[in-house]
Every structure is written in C-alpha cells, then in structure tokens.
Structure 1
Amino acid sequence: MDDTHILSVGIDLGTSTTQLVLARLTIKNFASAFSVPRINISKKEIIYRSKIIFTPLISQDEIDAEKIKEFVATEYKKAGIDKSDIQMGAVIITGETARKKNSSAVTQALSDYAGDFVVATAGPDLESVIAGKGAGTNKLARKYLKNVVNIDVGGGTSNLGLFDDDDVIDTACFDVGGRIVKLDPNKRVTYISEKVQKIINDQNLNIKVGQITSEKELKPLVNELCLIINNTIGLGPKSKYFDLFITNHALKTTDKIDGVTFSGGVADCIYKNHDDPFEYGDIGVLLGRALKTSPIFKEKKVYPSAETIRATVVGAGSHTTDVTGSTIEYSKGLLPIRNLPILKVSKHEEEAGKKSLESSIKRRIKWYETNNELNDVALAVNGLRTPKYADIINYADAIITGAKELIDKGKPLIVIVSEDMAKALGHNIYSKLPQNYPFICIDSVKVENGDYIDLGEPVAGGEVLPVIVKTLVFG
C-alpha cells in the first residue's frame, strides 16, 4: 500500500475563543506484505492555523451558530481549500460554551464542513484530559516518571488533568478564568460572573457593571482568584471561596503532584509580556501576571507546555485501523457504531482490585455527562494476560456495578480489553445483564482516554470486527 495523504480539520469552540487548525496526515501500512494491514499515521503536518476569534454569542446563554459557520467558511477560503477536500476532523465544544442551550445545534450546523467528524461536547473532566494531552503533559509525565498536572486556564473555567505516564489519574474543574469579568475599551465593566460577584460583595470591592475600573481596584479580586488556582494543587492558605468556585469536583489528592504545566488563553498571559493589562477586554492578563509570581512557580517544577491557547484545538482524528479477532462477544443488530468516546480506567486503579475498578468506572462515566445527559461511551481496561476464573468474575462484577448508570438508562455496554480475555469476560458480563441487553466485548485493541472508536459490521463469518481507533491529534 502506498502512502495516503488526507486533509483533516479541528475546530475548538471555547468559552472565550474559537479557532481552527488544518492538518495533512500521512497514512502508512506498517505491516509486511503477508500480514493483516496495520495502518498508522506516519506524519502529521499542520498546514494552517486560523486566527483566533472571540466565540460569537447571541446572548449570554446562546451561541451564534451562523457566525461560527461564516468564520469556518472564511478560514477555509484563506487556506485555499474547499470543504469537500476535508476528509475527517473534530469539533470540540468546551468550557462555558458547552453549557449553552444550543451547543448541540452548533455541531449540527458545522456538519457540512468536514468529512468524517468526531464531534464532542466536552464536559469539564473530558476537557481536562483533552487540554492536558494538547499541552503535552502526558508526555512529560512519561519522560520524567513524575506526576504532572496541567492547569488549563481559559475564559470561564480552569481545568486540571493529573497525569502519571499516559494515565489520567485525576481531573478537576473550577469556575476561574480570564473572562469572568469583562470590560469595554474604556475599561467600563460589562460583565461579572455570579460567583465573582460574591467575592466583590463580601470584600466591599468597588467593582460594578457599568462602572469604569482600574488595575488597582481589580487587584484584590485577581489575587483571590489566583489563590484559588494555587489551592487547586494544594498550595497557599485556603481561600474561603475555594468551594464556591468548584465546577464539579476538586482533585482527590494534591500531595503527589511533582510538576505543573499551564495551557489555555491565560497561559499566554503568563509567558508573554502584555503592555496593556486590558488588552483582551477582560482580567486574563492580570490573572496571568498574578500566577507567574504565585507559589506555583516557587514551590513546583513548572514545565513548558507544547501548546498554550491552542492546547484544546483538535488537529485531526488520526485513524489507526485494526481488527479484533476471535475472542469477541457482541449483540446482533448493534453494529456498526461510530465515534464512540473511550473511557479508560487507569492502570493503578485497575490493579488496586475490584472495588477500585468499580468506583473508577462509576466516577469516569460522569466525565461524559453534559447538561445532565449521559452520552454513550466505551469502557476500556487492560485486563490480565493469564486470568483465573475468579479474576474474570471480579472484572465482570466490577464492570456491571461501575456501569450501573449506563445500564439503568439502557445505554449499550461496550467493553474493550487490551489483553486476550474478551470471550470469557464477555460471556460472564452478558449473563449478568438484563435479557437481550445491547452489549459488545472486544480485546487486543489499544486505546487511551481522549480516543474515539468505530466498530464495523462483523466479517469472516462473524468472528472478526473491523475497528478504527481515532486518536485526537492535538495541534
């Protein structure tokens, strides 16, 4: 098979900004002439980075879908490509934008602008994973054998992803960002978030919507927000507002953090000098400056990020085509399935035993809940190379109990195991499910959090399922 080149797009709709990246991917078959094809990306080249615009809104709770379509069309034209040239890509909606009432309508509006789209409205936990991978935090954790946390400080939220090697061992999110206070060009305050208003009221700060403000007047507020970010990784005296600013949950443990990376728009304000503190019409520059002189930089090793403001832009879906062999279990009529996000349990949680595996699945399923709606996911575990029957029972029980919320809502239960044990595990899980429950268990497929998977119609007399793992390539 000759090398194949495909054009891919990534679009990130964040709280503050919207941006687009075009990438050319080279696909190569690495298998020998007499082997089953093993196709991987051999090269990724970013060929176009769009300008970064403020995410267009009709109102505080509604995205302007038409303006986003216009932006994408304009950027395609600037790049000299037609939308029909795009073969695959991803749209990721993150931060406060994911909470807008018409976020799903926006992804529909963009459906004509790419071929095989991975589309995800990322909840706060999933955004933490995506941003951390985009910042290269997982690679740093693997390189230095350290626990490294990425703090993605965006417009509306700060997302934390704690990595041990490639494993995401914890996530958190806080409603702290650069655009929770907005100003017009005259430094007149135009917006204050509800939680920030609580600090202003408590501390009698002279900051009001409609009133001109200054760096001096904003400093006590910015310092408090900076303290909250420091608190998220266990540094500094605890702010009385810490709990108020938790979006979903804090990190479970902060005493095992060896290093830190920063991404998001505010990270640019940490690393670059800005003469005008109100350059972006918000408090992002002030917050970046405060973070740069905070305990994080004095008490932790701060690693440079691969990306800052573009960390969450998804460059492309890199397709690794594979097949899963004879040890499979699946319900008839359920296939094919496309664009299913992967929920992978960390290795140490899996090795800690049945209860740990169960609670990890239960907690991570919440990552894929947006606007109180649970999305379909595929559960991934490593499994065991030579499992005993008791091990199979424990895995099956932990998966059934951990995935109770999925099962109660009638969502398909899809389990992916790295080791060759899907037949035995699948039989055991299926025997514990309601009759005729939609279920698939496959093995010998390697996936990670942040990946998406396609499962095709069975071939070879039903003994083999074609599998496409789409690894989001961050640009």
Structure 2
Amino acid sequence: MHDFDLDHEHEDLSESDQLAISRSIWEQENLELLTVGIDIGSSTSHLLFARIVLQREKDDLSSRFVVVERTVLWRSPILLTPFLPDGTIDAHELRHFFHHCYHDAGYKRADVDSGAVILTGEAIKRTNARAIDEIFANESGKFVCATAGHKLESILAAHGSGATALSRKRNACGLHVDIGGGTTKLALIDKGEILSVAAFAVGGRLLAKDQHGKWSRIDESARIVAQSFGIEISGDELPDEASRQAITKRLAALAVDQILGQPLDDLGEKLLLTDALERAVTPTYITFSGGVSEYIFGYETEDHGDIAQTLAQEIVAQLGPRIDVPVIDAGQRIRATVIGASQFTVQVSGKTLYMSGIKALPAHNIPVVHLGTTLPEVIDADEIAGIFKASAERQDRDLSLPLALAFSWSGLPDYPRLLAMATAIKSVAAPAGQREELLVLVIDGDIGQTIGRILEKELDLGSNLVSIDGVQLKDLDFVDLGEFIDPPGVIPVVIKSLLFS
C-alpha cells in the first residue's frame, strides 16, 4: 500500500518481468483448456480438438468461470464405425483410430485438459459401451462420457449443428432435422429453446455394402419396408437395385411425412422410436444436419456404399413442392457434435449443506437434471415431480442411477413448501420408498440443509444423499463433488458443461 502524500519510487522492471507480471494477472482471471469432443455412433465416428478460453465472472469474489471463446483446432476424418462379425464395435480399431488422430493433430493424451465422449445408437449397447469405456479408462477423471438415447441425441444434434444458436439469433421457430445412418431426429426450437424432440428409424445406412462390396447390411427398419412391398431378401443380401430404390423412396416418403407433421400410416407408426413430435409452434424454416444432409446441401457427391445419396435426393424431390418455408444450412452437418466439455473452476457449496453418508464423496461426472421453472408460492408435489421426470426423459436419464437434481429456490422457506418440495424429490428419486444410489440436490438458494434433513429424517429417503446450496447448474451439465472440507464445512463442486460450436 502507498501513502501518496510521501515520495516513493519503484526500481525499473525489465520487459520480461513486466510481461511475467501481466501474464500472472491474466492467468488469475482467465483459463485456457484444450478439450476434445468424440462422437461414436452406429454409422460414423469422429473427433475434434478445440481451444476453450474461460474468464472469471466480474462479480466480486466469484469463483465461477464462463466460456468467452472457443476455437476448433483440428477435425478428424470421418470413420465408418467398425463392427465385428458378432455385431459389437471393434474397440481395437477404434483405439487405433483415436491414437492416429492424436498423432496427426500433434497432441499427446496428457495435453488434453477435458473432453466429452458421446455414444449413440449401437454404441450404447452394454457390451459396446464397456469396450469403449476401456479405451478412455485412463482419462476417466477428465472425460464426460454420455450415452445418448434417441431424445438426448436429438437435443445434442440440435445444439451441435448450430440450429439452437440460429433460432436464438433469428428470434424465430425452426424445425431441425438430423438424418444419420440409422435414425432421423427432429427438434422443434423456438427462440433458442428446444420445445420438443422426436426420432424415427430412417437413415442413410439402413442398406449398405460390406467390405466385400455386397449389399449385406440390412437393418430391421429396411426389412420392415421391404416386407411391406413383398420384396424377398434371400441370404441376407439385397443385390437388386430396383428393390433398393423402392425401399429408399418409401423411407424418404416416411421422413417427409414426419418433417411436415402429416398423419402417419401403419408403416410410419412402426418406425417411430419416440412419441411423435409435439408442434406447439409452427416453424418458419427448416435446418438439416447428419450425414445425409451433406448430400442435401450438395457438399458431398461421393458414394460411400449405402443409400444416403439416393435418400437425400428423394427427400429433396418429395419435400420441395410441399413446403413454403426456407431450408437453411445451420453450419454443421455430419459433424454436428460436441466440441468437448468445459471444466469450470470450483464453485463452493453454501455452508447450509446436508450429507447422509460421507462415503459418497468424492464423486465424478454426475449428470444434472434441472427443474427449469420458477417455483410457485404453493408447491404441488405431483406437479413438480412430473416436471423433473419430463426433464429427465428428454435427456434419456435413468433416475435410478447416480443423479443430480437441480433447482432454484424462490419464495419463503416455510415448512409446508419445503415438505412439498421434498415429497416431489422423493417421488422422482425413490418411487419404491428408499434409494440406494447417490442422489445429489444442487440448489440455488439457502435451503440445502433443511430439505436434506426432511428427506432423510422425515421421509426416510435413504443414506446416500448430498444436499448442497449456493451453486448454479443447468441441463447438460455434469458435476464433480470433492471431499467435505471442515472447517469451513463446505464441498467443492466442479461443473462440466457440454460445449458446441
């Protein structure tokens, strides 16, 4: 400290010292991470490296960093996901692919600060997921590994393609259509918010050649369409081009009906993978992503031994005369995937936390389900439970597995409101009565201890509960909980958010 009424002087600092001081100050307020996003799907797999810059929020004493810049540094080639004869993913070949990607990009595994591995389609089957987990076992502390069912995959495609950002920028409602190898995902997005999602079994690799050039990959949905035409598939092959054309044209018609929201026939109903898309708002434009979109927009012309090119041509031919809204390229097509996971610095829980079973800590990569709505003055337990369950269903979350339920507390912390909220939480997390797996409550508000005590002491939830407050989360976040620090009686919380281009 200086008394400016007195004379004082500084010794001259060298230029290198000045730079070192400037760098030290910058590093206290900014954070650079090298992150990797890896997408392993039924048809294709790829990855990318990105540089993420995070900056401390300007609030006094804030320990939270937010992403201010993201730059894609390197993209891998697109790999046709390798499968073994028994139908499982060839983890050995995948491991070699990722090894070569790191080498070609000029990075070592130790260089990567964080990342996200997204498994979709066939990759989420138990035997495949186990094999893929082994590939990334050494990075388990750095990587978020998310298995995406049809609904979560629809959400990820909407974000990764740039469609949600485009909707927010245009302040308008758009319909996003992601056509991959085995499925098509829909997302209705209004002003940047995803209102509803759906998926059905139409894709560009439902019929495909094997390594010997034979048309031997015939997925179940292609067989269903073939059966509807009376087309015979002999010896697990479909060499007849006219039959493939007929199947592809019918698949395109089914996709167009879904895009337009037309009533579905029996075949369309059979190929639904989720409930049909809810259309609360009419879209004013359509965006596409996925491998088939590369042909729709004319970026790809090469035949890759499947029906993707023909399917794209048929969709364009059938959809064009029936729409009066523009079709827009949102920016990312086959590479509609995550950049990676940004790892925020530690937020510290409030002191009004509650724990039953300290053995639960530390815990890593716990998926977050956020309530996403303001609590009313009178809390209806059934209504709040329904909102939580709907949010979990949108993300394909299994509520019986380790989970973080997040919400903001507003209004008075009186007992009837707290009891109703605790009752809703128990209905979601322990419908059978007691819960064995870890449940984390993350509350933006100072009621962590009280609501935790009600859940354990009065509602008999179980002994694997951590209830913390003073932390802000959102959907598509994952949290790490550190060990309890006493004094001062807090838990460090690291937040990992999926990032998109």
TM-score scaled by structure 2?
Answer: 0.82
Distance 1:410 1:133, change over 3 A: same
**Counterpart for residue 454 of structure 1:** 480
Distance 2:145 2:76 in 1: 19
- Summarize deviations over 1:107-165 as a string: whole Å, max 9, x none: 22223368611112222222222222212333334344444443322112223344455
Mark the runs of 5 or more structure 2 residues left unpaired by the alignment.
Answer: 1-24
**Counterpart for residue 429 of structure 1:** 455
1:323 and 2:348 are equivalent in the alignment = yes
**Counterpart for residue 83 of structure 1:** 109
Q: Is the 8 A contact 2:143 2:341 kept in 1?
A: no
- Summarize deviations over 1:41-78 as a string: whole Å, max 9, x none: 33222111111111111135201111111111111111
**Counterpart for residue 213 of structure 1:** 240
Among 33, 45, 53, the alignment partner of 1:6 is 33
1:357 and 2:381 are equivalent in the alignment = no
Aligned partner of residue 84 in structure 2, secondary structure? strand
Larger Rg over CA atoms:
2
**Counterpart for residue 249 of structure 2:** 223
Distance 1:104 1:374 in 2: 19
Distance 1:78 1:349 in 2: 51
Give the CA deviation at 1:397: 2.0
Give the CA deviation at 1:232: 3.6
Aligned length: 469
Q: Is the 8 A contact 2:56 2:62 kept in 1?
A: no
Q: Is the 8 A contact 1:129 1:450 kept in 2?
A: no
1:23 and 2:36 are equivalent in the alignment = no
1:337 and 2:363 are equivalent in the alignment = yes
AA at the equivalent of 2:158: G
AA at the equivalent of 2:289: S
Give the CA deviation at 1:21: 0.7
Distance 1:443 1:268, change over 3 A: farther
Distance 1:288 1:17, change over 3 A: same
Mark the runs of 5 or more structure 1 residues left unpaired by the alignment.
Answer: none
Aligned partner of residue 63 in structure 1, secondary structure? coil
Further displaced range: 74-83 or 453-462: 453-462
Q: Is the 8 A contact 1:267 1:309 kept in 2?
A: yes
AA at the equivalent of 2:291: G
AA at the equivalent of 1:308: R
1:61 and 2:87 are equivalent in the alignment = yes
Q: Counterparts in 2 of 1:25-424, with a 5 A limit?
A: 25-31=52-58, 35-59=61-85, 61-99=87-125, 101-112=127-138, 116-164=142-190, 167-183=193-209, 188-205=214-231, 209-214=236-241, 217-233=243-259, 235-247=261-273, 249-251=274-276, 253-258=278-283, 259-272=285-298, 274-275=300-301, 279-295=303-319, 298-300=323-325, 302-333=327-358, 334-347=360-373, 354-366=381-393, 374-386=400-412, 389-404=415-430, 410-424=436-450
- Summarize deviations over 1:13-53 as a string: whole Å, max 9, x none: 11111111111223333447x62433233322211111111
Query: What's the Cα RMSD here?
Result: 3.2
- Summarize deviations over 1:394-440 as a string: whole Å, max 9, x none: 32222221233597562222222334443443333334543642112
- Summarize deviations over 1:65-112 as a string: whole Å, max 9, x none: 111111111111111122222222121111222126232221222233
Further displaced range: 460-469 or 118-127: 460-469
Distance 1:238 1:9 in 2: 40
**Counterpart for residue 8 of structure 2:** none
Distance 1:55 1:40 in 2: 34
Give the CA deviation at 1:347: 2.9
Q: Is the 8 A contact 1:91 1:107 kept in 2?
A: no
Distance 1:298 1:349 in 2: 40
Distance 1:379 1:300, change over 3 A: farther
AA at the equivalent of 1:226: A
Distance 1:43 1:273, change over 3 A: closer
Distance 2:272 2:318 in 1: 20
Distance 2:206 2:193 in 1: 31
Distance 2:387 2:325 in 1: 28
Distance 1:126 1:369, change over 3 A: closer
Aligned partner of residue 170 in structure 1, secondary structure? strand
Further displaced range: 47-56 or 169-178: 169-178
Aligned partner of residue 306 in structure 2, secondary structure? coil
Q: Counterparts in 2 of 1:436-447, with a 5 A limit?
A: 436-447=462-473
AA at the equivalent of 1:245: L
Aligned partner of residue 468 in structure 2, secondary structure? strand
Distance 1:225 1:418, change over 3 A: farther
Q: Is the 8 A contact 1:224 1:239 kept in 2?
A: no
Distance 1:378 1:307, change over 3 A: same
AA at the equivalent of 1:443: D
Distance 2:332 2:152 in 1: 18
Aligned partner of residue 430 in structure 1, secondary structure? helix
AA at the equivalent of 2:237: G
